[in-house]
Amino acid sequence: MAMIELSHLSKTYGSGENAVHALDDVSLEIEQGEIFGIIGLSGAGKSTLVRCINLLETPTSGTVTVDGKTMTSLNGKALREARRNIGMIFQGFDLLMQRTALENVRFPLELAHVPKAEANERAKELLKTVGLEGREGAYPAQLSGGMKQRVAIARALASNPKVLLCDEATSALDPTTTESILELLKELNRTLGVTVVVITHEMRVVERICSRVAIIADSHIAEQGEVQEVFLHPQTEAAKKLVLPSRAGKLEGFAEAEARDAADPCRGELIRLAFDGMTTDRPVIADMILSCGAPVSIVYADTRSIEGKLYGHTVLQLPGDEATADKLKRWLRDQGISYTKEVQ
């Protein structure tokens, strides 16, 4: 069952020649209890999209439905009530510096007029849930970045939301702290059943915790699907830029060398092998060389862990002899290893 439904959502700032189209005809369905990733480069529209989900930004057109309620048709008290089902955490934590961790978590409960004793107990329970038991009296200035984000997560959970929106929630954190926050989000999703929407520009974040992903580019959804499928077989240029960053980086210098040596008969085409979770740990390249009796050059390799399984890409340069190259590609097909020609 869909927890979040976005239908033909558009958002335009300004008018006439100065109009900026931040979102253009965006439609998405996010299932109840899943961790869904929305990824895009800077300026793609992802932050505007997440702020439209809880109506912090009012869409120019289209509808937003959360837990069966059409958010875009609500206002005033009805909208405030609906927003209590949607928690949100930000890149910059947005904690109140003059309040302790306990008081920060308690703040939304105060706004909801929850009795102080009950609010205190709830805040203590949430701080324990996010691993900050004993730090209730600490002020934000006394906490590390990871601790601040844990306080922000606890605050977002104060109203028992059904949806947790994470807008670049780990971008300001170091890799080790990022890992711990992502693990916490996974645990909260598992134990509380909260639907998590992760907005990020980092593919590694999506690969780490999300089951499905949508690629946003130029204000619209360019591609969406299961994370492993998008990683293995990106269909659009926007997805390839995010999933296969080597196209603009590590392979660039090789492409120049390839152009210089195009007349060299020993140099053949580049192919990209995609390894799924069942084949990543096999010695595929060694077996191919031994079986075919022909050498290949490894130009680039990358392996990722997605939902506990290893997936990877490897770029090979085949021999210049066409018959030998065909033999190698035929062996790959027979082994069920997918590949594509690498285009620079």
β-pair type (35-39, 212-217): parallel
At 251, which helix (H) or strand (E)? helix 250-260
pTM: 0.77
Cα distance between residue 190 and residue 34, in whole Å: 9
C-alpha distances (whole Å) from 90 to each of 152, 171, 199 are: 8, 9, 10
Give the integer Cα–Cα distance in Å for 115 and 189: 28
d(CA 87, CA 56): 12
Q: Which residue has the higher pLDDT, 240 or 7?
A: 7
Q: Is 21 helix (H, G, I), strand (E, B) or coil?
A: strand
Question: For the CA atoms of 29, 188, 41, 91, what is the dihedral angle to 10 degrees?
Answer: 130
In this structure, the dihedral spanned by the alpha carbons of residues 156, 101, 46 and 76, taken in order and rounded to 10 degrees, is 50
Domains in the chain with CATH codes: 2-234 (3.40.50.300), 245-341 (3.30.70.260)
Residue entry with tokens 């992502």: 182
Of the listed ranges 23-37, 62-76, 80-94, 245-259, the least confidently predicted one is 245-259
Least confident of 38-47, 62-71, 193-202, 210-219: 38-47
Find where tokens 């210098």 sit: 253
Task: Kindly tell me if the per-residue pLDDT of 142 is higher than 50.
Answer: yes
The answer for 27, left when phi > 0, alpha when psi is -120 to 50, beta otherwise, is beta
pLDDT at 257 over 50: no
Amino acid in position 118? E
Q: How far apart are CA 306 and CA 266, in angstroms?
A: 37
Which DSSP letter does residue 201 get? Answer: S
Of 7 and 298, more confident: 7
Task: Note whether 273 and 284 are within 8 A (CB).
Answer: yes
pLDDT tens digits along 167-205:
888 887 888 888 899 999 999 999 999 999 999 888 888
- Token readout for 216 is 């946003």
Amino acid, res. 290: L
CA–CA dist 41, 238 (Å, integer):
9
Do 222 and 235 touch, CB atoms closer than 8 A? no
Q: 5 - beta bridge partners?
A: 29, 65
Long-range CB pairs of 244-253, under 8 A, 24+ apart, other chains included:
244/272, 244/313, 246/300, 246/302, 246/313, 246/315, 247/344, 250/299, 250/300, 251/299, 251/300, 251/315, 251/342, 251/344, 252/344
pLDDT band at 5 (very low <50, low <70, confident <90, very high): very high
Q: Please state the separation of Cα 320 from the chain's center in Å.
A: 39
Asked if 129 and 79 count as a contact pair (C-beta separation under 8 A), the reply is: no
Give me 9's structure tokens. Answer: 């959502």
Q: Are 198 and 36 in contact (CB under 8 A)?
A: yes
Q: What is the pLDDT of residue 247?
A: 46
Beta-carbon contacts of 134 under 8 Å, excluding residues fewer than 6 positions away, are: none
The whole-angstrom separation of Cα 119 and Cα 4 is 28
